């Protein structure tokens, strides 16, 4: 069942942050999908693990 999102009169740019690649989808994927259906622009940023010495890059 899909809920119909009411179009937003003033679309926003929304940034979702996550610590791991699938955190945003698991924690708030439904909300992000509904916001997208309402006309908002959704972007996501997560931290990825690179290297064997604990170097973090965003």
For 7-20, how does the pLDDT look when each residue is reduced to its tens digit (9 = 90+)?
A: 888 999 999 888 87
Q: What is the pTM of this model?
A: 0.69
Considering the domain boundaries, does residue 6 fall inside one?
no
Considering the domain boundaries, does residue 3 fall inside one?
no
pLDDT of 42 above 90: yes
Considering the domain boundaries, does residue 31 fall inside one?
yes
Considering the domain boundaries, does residue 44 fall inside one?
yes
Considering the domain boundaries, does residue 5 fall inside one?
no
Residue 57, judged by CB atoms within 10 A of its CB (0-12, 13-18, 19+), counts as exposed
Considering the domain boundaries, does residue 40 fall inside one?
yes
Q: What is the extent of the structural domain holding 49?
A: 16-53
Considering the domain boundaries, does residue 7 fall inside one?
no
pLDDT of residue 53: 47
Q: Taking Cα atoms as reference points, which of 50, 52, 45, 54 lies closest to residue 23?
A: 45
Question: To the nearest whole number, what is the mean pLDDT of the chain?
Answer: 80
Considering the domain boundaries, does residue 9 fall inside one?
no
């Amino acid at each position: 069942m899909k809920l119909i999102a009411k179009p937003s009169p003033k679309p926003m740019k929304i940034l979702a942050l996550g610590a791991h690649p699938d955190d945003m989808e698991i924690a708030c994927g439904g909300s992000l999908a509904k916001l997208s259906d309402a006309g908002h622009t959704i972007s996501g940023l997560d931290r990825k693990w690179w290297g064997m010495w604990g170097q973090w890059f965003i």
